[in-house]
Chain A
């Protein structure tokens, strides 16, 4: 097995690992503010049009949304498991877990696509084809604008995550990671958990209003 060497700017592998993890955390901080700005804007309008947003939210596909939440949570679990597996030198198994997680990501995107298609047919997608027979149509329009922007940006993040998981999985399969050095899996995992977490917020904000009582 080849000995892992640190990249030229590092003293040792431990430093390289610390740097990789801190880098991803800082990146996640950026992402939090990116989605945070959007979610803030959403909350402003939701407090401005509470009844209309509740009405609009009832037109989202709660079954698909819930299924997708479960799928992403499961994939996150698999990724966390893969990190542990890599730490225990079970590289092949780690690769399998990562690829399964990526596959779940693909399932998530497919369901999301099906959901968009249904909404398109119901003329709920602003910018493409929107029509809503109600005096509150403008606020419903706003809701679905946020819906498509937020879930669309999230889907882009999922797509990037899938590519990362597949790539890291391939490296793991080639046994490129060692006990001493497996930061790519840790870092990819951090990113994937973040994408998962964003979805949990979006699920609660987009699908759940107006469903109770």
Chain B
């Protein structure tokens, strides 16, 4: 194994890392940051699940409980899920996948990391000085007038982090448009790139609306400008419209990259081209587009007009179609494929199962009459965790394992990785499936006490959460171990397609010795052979 200079060994001073404009190093910086946030958000979740073991509020006060779930939501949504796949795996892989030297705007890329850190520190400071109790949704007029917590600080943190999202999205859009290697046409792009492109469009078009909305909330609270204050003629519902105009598409920011990763994994470990490539590609764009017109399904009980409810319900059913296309096409890809159950594939299969449950339960919620019944119950909590955690986090782990040899130059221990993948799947289902039942039984979300008859389901959920906690912590250990003791990886340990596998692992700072040229469709496994030499 050659000890050639690569992006990790080039210059290892702290200064060179903090001032780097190399997309691969920026990806590592993001990776470290979001891992920290993941465990902070996870700690809040752990406390929530501990509290809910018993019907009485015995661990924390109601007020603390409110701050815990708010912190959990804010950290997990804006400081883990939104940047997770795009800013780490995307940052690392996009230029490699299109055969480019770097992203279009390398300095902007580093800037976006600093903005992310600034936003994160502001939010952490808000938590440190007492936290915020509005939930991650910052609903007015509670957030603007009544809440006795650090709304302005928390909102400022999210506002700043939003610009980091926008800059990342901008960078990806321009990079994918302009820096593709010769011969790499749009229909030769790996599906990961189609997904990230769709994600970036949402990042660029939805995030600014959140920015202006949160700015108005902060100004309303700090200076009483009254835009969302009913006592001054303002309309609190307008806040919900603006907030969900961002936050529903944000759900697609959180799932589309996961779908992109899963497309890569399914193709690689089935040794087949993705069935209906163009449909899967365009379904990502369709999700991004239609996703902008479904926000009202968060407001079915808000008092919006029956007509609006009807339209939003219809659109919400429509947006499920492209997601279903993806699921069917992944399954069809596996049909008669040469499937191997490596850890990334286990994550991908877990994703398909969990995402399908999340998606189908979403159809329940898109249904006007049923939604009235389960609004603001644990049914909703279970639904979006199936999408965001069962879907996105699982895909993130799958992608992390898949590209780990490329990123670090080391192979992860397969046995432990499979164990973690299976444990995550079971722990996750045990945590969140009981919450569907709780929701149907009528348990509202965001309460820290509950009638004793619900206890069995809560205990089950908390037990599952402890399994999940162990499963999420496992990779930290074995991946950490592999950094030092893992087997060295070849350039293409999975014998798969894609330009990122044509350069050494880890890649040199300049990515490719000779600029690659693309002559084939993606996922062309005919030259790779069916059988894959194990860890060749």
Q: Mark A residues whose CB is within 8 Å of B.
A: 8-11, 15, 18-19, 22-23, 26-27, 29-31, 33-38, 40-41, 44-45, 48-49, 126-128, 138-139, 141-142, 145-146, 148-149
Contacts and interface: CB of A to CB of B under 8 A. Distances in A.
B178 A142 contact: no
Interface in B400-418: none
B interface secondary structure, majority: helix
16 contacts: A8-B101, A9-B179, A15-B179, A18-B178, A19-B104, A26-B204, A30-B208, A36-B208, A38-B216, A41-B227, A45-B234, A128-B223, A139-B233, A142-B227, A142-B234, A149-B225
A41 B216 contact: yes
Interface of B: 95, 100-106, 166, 170, 173-174, 177-179, 204-209, 211-213, 215-216, 219, 222-227, 232-235, 238, 242, 245, 510, 515
Contact of A27 (B170, B211, B215, B233): B170
A36 B232 CA distance: 23
A26 B193 CA distance: 18
A37 B242 contact: yes
- Of B105, B510, B515, most buried by chain A (CB within 10 Å of CB) is B105
B223 A127 contact: yes
Contacts of B166: 30
A31 B208 contact: yes
Nearest to A52: B233
A126 B229 CA distance: 13
Contacts, number: 108
Contacts of A29: 204-205
A141 B208 contact: no
B170 A9 contact: no
B209 A36 contact: yes
Given A9-B100, A9-B106, A141-B232, A30 B226 contact: no
Q: Which of A15, A48, A141 has the most CB of B within 10 A?
A: A141
Closest 7 CB pairs of A and B: A127-B223, A34-B208, A145-B225, A9-B102, A138-B233, A37-B212, A33-B208
Contacts of A146: 227
B233 A49 contact: yes
Given A35-B212, A45-B235, 11 more contacts: A22-B178, A27-B170, A29-B204, A30-B204, A36-B208, A36-B209, A37-B208, A37-B213, A141-B233, A146-B227, A148-B225
